[in-house]
Structure 1
Amino acid sequence: MATAMQNDDSAIEKWKLRRTIQYLSSLRGHGTSLVTIIVPAQSQLSQTTRLLTDEYALSSSIRSPQTRHNVQQALSAAQGRLRLYTQNTLPKNGLVLYTGIVDDGEQNRETKISMCIEPLQPLQRDLYRCETHFITDFLQQQIIDSVNDLNRRRYGIIVIDGNGTLFARIDPQQGTTILKRIQVSLPK
């Protein structure tokens, strides 16, 4: 019963993550004002904080006043989000930060986005990127990999009765394979 509930929770989390990724992938910013930051669990949070401080100082040399303002706003939001975490409270799979000011083309408005996501699988590398869009391809790949892992699961079956024993494997791609059959004659 508990396993079924955990599987349901896992499926709901994957669905939420997929929807969030679709939403983030559709957003576009003015200039290179959308910031994506990947923080693996084993990395030092102080290094990431220092990087953001350095990037904030460098952003003052951006020529376009609107892009400069948007980048500085995004970096400030990212620094604020990182302050909520310590090395001990960082999620076990790492953390992905998405911050920036997004153009809403239909109504000529700008919307501030600041989002933290814990990925499905542990992150292996860190990343800091300012682009016109958020970097979400690695999260999409994690969702695809998790679905493929479900399809790759194999189950073993052992059937024991009065006539013998049967060892079999159930594989989603190959079906059922009988590995070994042992027959015995037991006295009545």
Structure 2
Amino acid sequence: MAEEHSQHEIEKDEARKRYEFKKSLERLEEKEGSGTELISLYIPPDKQIYDVTAQLRDEYGQCANIKSKQTRSNVQSALSSILARLKYFKTPPPNGMAVFCGAINVGGDKTDLESIIVEPPEVIQTYSYRCSSTFELEPLKAMLDDKYVYGLLVLDRREAYWGFLRGTHIEPINGTHSTVPGKQRKGGQSSVRFERLRLIAIHDFYSKIGERASAAFLAEPNFFEKFKGVLIGGPMPTKEEFAAGNFLHHEVQKRIIGLFDSSYTNEFGLRELVDNAQEALRGVGIMDEKAEMSRFFKELIKENGAAAYGEESVRLNLEAGAVDTLLLSEKLRKLRLTLHCRNCGYEEVKTMQIEAGKKAKDLPHGYCPKCQSPLVLSKEADIIDELTELADASNTRVEIISEDFEEGSMLYSAFGGIAAVLRYPTGM
């Protein structure tokens, strides 16, 4: 039990890191400069810092060739800022580091020099230095891609469909229809000849499915590292005949994880297949998240169920220690602000939506209801951080739910991105 709890803590920590990493990339993506004034520097863990600083000093000298005085000054300021920050590093961190620095446009022909260091969740493989009007983020974005994929295939003798399961996202690819005749033979044909032709048509259809599905699966980049296996769904005995007939490419065939009943063999059948393969996919992100959302929906439809949703209700239940599992959408982009009045001491706390790239200071803070003086920001927190802290105080599990599947999307669109399974009904 302790081992299971420890594993859950590790997974929760990974989900939080992924959320924070994704947010940091969103903020960087919104930043723009003029010309080629923004510097993106990727340093692998085995790169010597003094080699990096030597190149940056050389780049500083090359700035003399930049015709625009403003651009020259901004690039040199960015290089000086990076050099100053690198003095604190004897060696790069274990996964390397990405440094982003430059004069960011803040409106009204004004710029702010910003310098951001990102320690990525995976190892940076290649050293690179780039100047542009935006930051180069593709190497970091690639780290958000799902590392493992599963092939999905549903079929009967009429049609077939295939696709991928990537983390929590089901990706339909393509399908095909058969020309296999029904069991009722046409007039004038002997039953033996008709059945022989029908079996040939079935075999040809299975061969076509195997060829096309295998081509799609084998086209997956880094197939041998990323492709974990294939799930096959459909009615009996079709899926069993197909699997036994070795119609898939041998590299895909040997990776068959299991056969699962499914009544649909179209695009919707891929979702049914994933649902029916829960045991085989235990521990895969989508199944764990589906299980948590299923618990919530089961409680929600009960007359006196142990479920709550919406920030106000969930917050009250957290403060009462009544929440068993807190469900938060990874799409949440809100801040919890504490505002006060310098004139009369009035204070209020409120939650506000924030756009990517914006800061708390960019939001309208309003006026004091007592003396009409402007309210001033005194404290801010990301709402996921703030609610997680509340949850930790009462030993509540926290699950960050992606929106790559139907129930996860509903958490954000229908319930505001905040819900909870309670320890007991509270009516709050």
TM range (shorter): 0.7 to 0.9
Partner of 1:22: 26
Q: CA deviation at 1:126?
A: 0.3
CA positional deviation for 1:103: 0.8
* Structure 1 residue 104: Cα displacement: 1.5
2:96 & 2:38 partners in 1: Cα distance?
20
Residue 26 of structure 1, CA deviation:
1.5
Residue 2 of structure 1 deviates from its aligned partner by 2.4
Report the counterpart of residue 117 of structure 2 in structure 1.
Answer: 116
- 1:47 alignment counterpart: 51
Where 2:84 maps in the other structure, the secondary structure is helix
Counterpart residue number, 2:88 = 84
Alignment of 1:146-161 (within 5 A): 146=147, 150=167
**Aligned CA distance change for structure 1 residues 146 and 101 (closer, same or farther; 3 Å):** farther
Match of 2:39 in 1: 35
Gaps of 5+ in 1: 155-168, 178-188
In structure 2, C-alpha distance between the alignment counterparts of 1:11 and 1:147, rounded to whole Å: 16
Tell me which residue corresponds to 2:105: 103
Q: Which of structures 1 and 2 has the larger relative contact order (alpha carbons within 8 angstroms, sep 6+)? A: 1
What is the TM-score with the length of structure 2 in the denominator?
A: 0.35
Secondary structure, counterpart of 1:41 in structure 2: coil
Shift in Å, 1:146: 4.7
How far does residue 150 in structure 1 lie from its aligned partner after superposition? 4.8
**Superposed counterparts of 1:102-181, under 5 Å:** 102-105=104-107, 107-146=108-147, 150=167, 175=277, 176=279
The CA deviation at 1:60 is 1.9
Counterpart residue identity of residue 19, structure 1: K
> How many Å separate the matches in 2 of 1:104 and 1:94?
30
CA displacement, residues 76-111 of structure 1 (integer Å, 9 cap, x when unaligned) = 111111111112xx2111000000011123x43211
- Correspondence 1:61 to 2:62: no
> Does the C-alpha gap of structure 1 residues 29 and 147 become closer, same or farther in structure 2, counting only changes over 3 Å?
farther
Structure 2 unaligned segments of length 5 or more: list them.
150-165, 169-226, 230-256, 259-272, 281-428
CA distance, structure 1, for counterparts of residue 8 and residue 93 of structure 2: 24
Contact 1:34–1:131, Cα closer than 8 Å, also in 2: yes
**Distance across 2 between alignment mates of 1:80 and 1:133:** 22
Deviation, 1:10, is: 1.5
Measured at CA, do residues 68 and 40 of structure 1 come closer, stay the same or move farther in structure 2, by a change above 3 Å? same
Contact 1:29 1:100 in 2 (8 A): yes
8 Å contact from structure 1 (residues 33, 132) kept in 2: yes
Deviations 1:138-186 (A, max 9, x none): 11111113586756778xxxxxxxxxxxxxx68x959256xxxxxxxxx
Say which one has the larger Rg.
Answer: 2
Single out whichever of 21-30 and 139-148 deviates more from structure 2.
Answer: 139-148
RMSD (Å) for aligned C-alpha atoms: 2.5
* 1:119-142 deviations in Å (ceiling 9; x for gaps): 111111000001111000111111
Give the secondary-structure state (helix, strand or coil) at the position aligned to 2:80: helix
Work out the CA distance in 2 between the residues paired with 1:77 and 1:4. Answer: 40
Secondary structure, aligned partner of 1:129? strand
Distance 1:145 1:81, change over 3 A: farther
Shift of 1:47: 1.0
What's the TM-score once normalised by structure 1's chain length?
0.76
Amino acid corresponding to residue 111 of structure 1 in structure 2 = D
Identity, % of aligned positions: 26
1:28 aligns to what SS in structure 2?
coil
In structure 2, give the amino acid aligned to 1:102. I
